[in-house]
Structure 1
Amino acid sequence: TRNSLRDAARGDYLWFVDSDDWLRPGAIAAIAQVVRRSGPDLIGCDYRKSGMVRSSFAGPHDRVLTDRDQIVGGICLSRKMYAWVRIARRELWADGLRFPEGRVFEDAALIPRMALRARSYVHVKRPLIHYRVRAGSILAGVKTTGGPFDLPSHFDLAEALQGFTETLDGEAEPFTRTRFAVSHFIAMEFAKVTRRISEAGTDRIGGTS
């Protein structure tokens, strides 16, 4: 569905907002202001979930960043690699960049690669979108309470950035911060999977066939 929307979109910037979520008042105006002032390749924003504001970038905000390692590393370090908090210039989608087919956590597999293409980034330090976990959604199913433990989905997230360091090897810049962020993300996700398997018990692990 997202790839179909990507193909059909005609705007200068693309923002994928899930049907579960909604834009907060003033969100479009805030993004339009950033576009008018600096026209960055990529824009990020914070979001609200369960009554709390969550940050989606570990780095400077409300100013233009051009250090690619700072951009990609800041996104990966936040561990909030969601398409719905990124507004991308259409050109970043060129050369066949698409959401990967068959991945549960397609955002985590795509957003770092998209960010690597960006030469400028602005993070809006205010929640522009309200995130809601709907019963039956992917994230609602990746849990340990009630129902079987969805092992494949957990591993899909843990493996989302596999191969990305090889992509970085082809870049002239060292991307030291980004490499650390990727290693940290993978280690944290595999540790989380291991802990949740232990908490769930083997009788509740589902989808392993």
Structure 2
Amino acid sequence: MGRAAPWLSILLPVYKVEAYLQACADSILGQADAGVELVFVDDASPDGSGRLLQALQQAHPQQVRVITQASNQGVSVARNTLLDAARGDYLWFIDPDDLLEPGVIPQLKRLLNQAQPPELILCDFRAFEDGSGQARKARQRHISTFQGPGRQLSRDRDALIQGLFKAGQLHPWSKIVKRACWPAELRFPPGRIFEDLAVLPRLALQIDSYLHIPEVWLAYRQRPGSALANLSAARIEDWMRALQGYGAALHARPVRPQTEFEVAHFCARTFVRACKRRVKLGDADAAKALKRFARQFALSSPLAPQALLRAYLKRGRLLRFAQLRYWLMRATPR
């Protein structure tokens, strides 16, 4: 008789994290019961991560699985491999340089053992600086990933989408999702950064019930070299096209006007920030890039640019109106 399927798959893509991997694994294994599996993908890491993974597998053969890729293919391919390999009822992506807070997994299990468990659980996190172990700012001791009621099971998908986009924390490691809700065709885009932004909003469209736990469940390690801190021209392009087509996906539902506004506002903020970053690079192709960004903004937002400008005026958000209008005019001069 085979072993029962795990109730939870914790999925970890591994690349150049030798210094952090053991602490991450210990923070999980120290509280995981026999129904939790840890699946690692060694993305051809050139450091000692592979040796650590083999040692973990030998020490915990019933809980730890290691998949080794012959060549480095990037975090999106690693995450897609993990999706295909997962056997648990619920999925939780965790980055192997982060830490799980004590007591989280038993608390999660209690929530999922309720008569009507949610399809999606959202948790909060704290950020700490690599080296000092301390938060850079007081507000980083507790960062909310959702704006809306906490500890209440909800089936309001509009409220889910609004709360996600208002919080702006669209990463997978603060979300635990029922595996049956993850469509086979929804995968992280290979070779691109901001892959989380391309996937999580689309996953939200599949969710019928959710629960936000306004507690710190994960400690996020801040290291030099983050995507937002080191934006090249190519990375800014990835940022702008991550949500391309999402407006049309919302129109297919449809959703409430306030949901359209919150998503359009998020897209506009991304557009303005991307334009500023791209101009700051100071190369001759910036004007053409801004024109592309304006097209991508229009393809991502559920509201046309002019409709969003009118919505800003109606809501008295004059600064947002002025910023968006300025960059639209600069991107598409007459």
On whether the aligned pair clears a TM of 0.5, the verdict is: yes
Aligned pairs for 1:149-168 within 5 A: 149-168=231-250
Identity in percent: 38
Q: Does 1:143 align with 2:229?
A: yes
Summarize deviations over 1:73-92 as a string: whole Å, max 9, x none. 21122111101111000111
> 1:202 is matched by which residue type in structure 2?
G
> Quick one: which of 161, 164, 182 aligns to 2:263?
182
> Quick one: which of 97, 108, 117 aligns to 2:186?
97
User: Relative to structure 1, is the Cα distance of residues 75 and 8 closer, same or farther in structure 2, using a 3 angstrom cutoff?
Assistant: same
Structure whose alpha-carbon radius of gyration is higher: 2
| Alignment-derived partner of residue 88 in structure 1 | 177
Q: Does 1:24 align with 2:96?
A: no
> 1:156 is matched by which residue type in structure 2?
D
Q: How far did 1:47 drift?
A: 0.6
Aligned pairs for 1:1-209 within 5 A: 1-37=78-114, 38-50=116-128, 51=135, 52=140, 53-136=142-225, 140-143=226-229, 149-171=231-253, 173-198=254-279, 200-202=280-282
RMSD: 2.2
Q: Does the 8 A contact of 2:182 with 2:206 survive in 1?
A: no
Q: Does the 8 A contact of 1:142 with 1:150 survive in 2?
A: no
Q: Does the 8 A contact of 1:76 with 1:181 survive in 2?
A: yes
Q: How far did 1:110 drift?
A: 0.6
User: Relative to structure 1, is the Cα distance of residues 34 and 135 closer, same or farther in structure 2, using a 3 angstrom cutoff?
Assistant: same
**2:259 and 2:195 mapped to 1: Cα distance?**
19
User: Relative to structure 1, is the Cα distance of residues 166 and 130 closer, same or farther in structure 2, using a 3 angstrom cutoff?
Assistant: same
Q: How far did 1:141 drift?
A: 4.2
- SS for the counterpart of 2:111 is helix
> 2:80 is matched by which residue type in structure 1?
N
- SS for the counterpart of 1:19 is coil
Scaled by the length of structure 2, the TM-score of the pair is 0.55
Q: How far did 1:201 drift?
A: 4.6
User: Relative to structure 1, is the Cα distance of residues 8 and 78 closer, same or farther in structure 2, using a 3 angstrom cutoff?
Assistant: same
> 2:186 is matched by which residue type in structure 1?
L
Q: How far did 1:54 drift?
A: 0.7
Scaled by the length of structure 1, the TM-score of the pair is 0.85
**2:235 and 2:104 mapped to 1: Cα distance?**
31
Please identify runs of 4+ aligned residues in structure 1 that moved more than 6 A. Answer: none
Unaligned runs of 5+ in 1: none
**1:175 and 1:165 mapped to 2: Cα distance?**
13
Summarize deviations over 1:132-178 as a string: whole Å, max 9, x none. 13334xxx24326xxxx51222332233222111011211x433233
**1:135 and 1:160 mapped to 2: Cα distance?**
23
**1:84 and 1:197 mapped to 2: Cα distance?**
28
> 1:192 is matched by which residue type in structure 2?
R
Summarize deviations over 1:43-93 as a string: whole Å, max 9, x none. 101110132211111111111010110112211221111011110001111
**2:81 and 2:235 mapped to 1: Cα distance?**
23
